[in-house]
Amino acid sequence: MNIPLPKDIYGPKRRNSRGVNLNIRSHYYPLMEKMAAFMDKQYSVKPLVAFDIADDASNTHSVTTPYDRRQTVGSVQWATKEQATKALDAAWTAFHRWDATPVAERAAIVRRLGDLMEEHMPELMALCSREGGKLLTDGVDEIREAVDFCRFYAMRAEEDFGQVIELPGPTGESNRLFMGGKGVFAAISPWNFPVAIFCGQVVAAAVSGNTVLAKPAEQTSIVAHRVIELLHEAGMPRDVVQLLPGDGPTVGSVLTSDPRITGVVFTGGTDTAQIINRALAARENAPLATLIAETGGMNAMIVDSTALPEQVVVDVIQSAFQSAGQRCSALRVLYLQDDVADRVIEILEGAMAELHIGDPRDLGTDVGPVIDEDARKGLLAHIEKLKAENRLVAETPMAAEHTQDGTFVAPVAFTIDSIDSLTREQFGPILHIVRYKASELDKVINDINGRNYGLTFGVHSRNESFAAEIAQKMRVGNVYINRNIIGAVVGVQPFGGQGLSGTGPKAGGLHYLHRFVTEKTITNNTAALGGNASLLALGDE
């Protein structure tokens, strides 16, 4: 039996991203040495567009790091409305040329980007830590996911769009299906995965034949700028993919109001997705635009009486508190069957007490900062409300000397009566626990489904038929059985939700690229040229 090496697990058509084990000295120290060169570097970036932009100090914004607001990462010059419109002009002009570029050439550029990101992993990880507050382990996973997106989408584009599809039909007639880009796509990405999601959106749209205007999150525009620099280095024409850092009212309004925008790919809050949807629909005399949205979730996990408490707690800690709970897939509500609840909570309290909060650059840190002060204030308001109601179960101790200059929130767990007690998703390290009786299981399922969010869900049970039945009943995009509910792998666990959690199709899935293309069928009456060639050929057999 031949077991493939990690780089070969996806077969000959797609190479797996290169992993780094930070617990191995020969991996850790060389990586840290390379990252050190970028830990104090001051970046000065501005829009990357198809034309020259003059420096504008009045529109330049300083970027500080979430783990220590006294430290700056650099500065970002935001795009103006006029620059965004001019970039759209260039993208519109470049579209037909780019769409006519052979799929193999487009895919080769995207693959080269994946290779370049692996080569520049230390710098990209340093920026993820400094701008986004990411742990070292999260940084490795982030870059690997971005590389996997590049290689997966390049492979899918070649397989799905690389040749004309001959359709079956009657004799004397040919029917062929062509697929091509839709036009200009706006890619509006979040701060919580500033390389992986950002890169995935951009390369999916571009490899499918579209030109792209990329608007990164304001908090993480420097690392996005570096990714687009690498994409241009890989051979992507500057007028095909352009970077427009800036705020929503300025840049976002252009990207959702101009009738030449044929599609928007967005990851972020549900409220923002609905605003974008309404803006696209309100455009007069504009083609109906495509909206691909991956939004938030009220993600739950059900634990029954057969579950192994120790395994449950390991998976709950990872699901709720890794990345400081700032994942779309993070666990928000834990349902514990009464029979096992006390034991699980006891172990959970002990595990939370051992978590270390602090500098994400320290390998011993378990929980880093939240993204900014606005996020911190919102989370603390929710925490204080539940504390006032005497619902606190456990809170991780936080040493002031490690956290006083950053935007940190300690992991915390509360009891609530039902998922219906929550008015909205709390995007941070806050876990809500609900106890339920076995006889109440149907109500629990209905309550979770009734919130109309449908992103991720977990079930812990050693009763396989029970777990399978629950999985089928949940109206969500991703179900995880007896494991954590985060860390979807490209091409293995395609990621995306339904209802208030997104439009689909799933990122990193077989059908994702098809949302970025148009289809054209050409039917030709071949017999009109004189005789039916296929029938006449039968006479020669």
Active-site residues: which are they?
294, 328
Beta bridge partners of 45: 76
**C-alpha–C-alpha distance, residues 448 and 450, integer Å:** 5
**C-alpha–C-alpha distance, residues 407 and 293, integer Å:** 28
Contact 305, 463 (CB under 8 A): no
Contact 334, 341 (CB under 8 A): no
Beta bridge partners of 524: 174
Q: Report the SS3 class of residue 213.
A: strand
The two three-digit tokens of residue 241, written as one number: 């993919």
Q: Checking DSSP bridges between strand 392-395 and strand 412-415, what pairing results, if any?
A: antiparallel
Taking the CA atoms of 129, 134, 138 and 144 in sequence, report the sign of the dihedral they define: negative
Contact 173, 524 (CB under 8 A): yes
CB-based contacts of 308: which residues, under 8 Å, 6+ apart? 460, 462
**C-alpha–C-alpha distance, residues 205 and 539, integer Å:** 48
Q: What spatial distance separates the first Cα and last Cα of the chain, rounded to whole Å? A: 46
Residue 427: other Cβ atoms inside 10 A: 22
**C-alpha–C-alpha distance, residues 102 and 166, integer Å:** 19
Helix count and strand count (H, E) for the chain: 16, 20
What DSSP character marks residue 527? G
Contact 210, 107 (CB under 8 A): no
Residue 403: what are its φ and ψ, rounded to 5°? Answer: -130, -5
**C-alpha–C-alpha distance, residues 160 and 218, integer Å:** 34
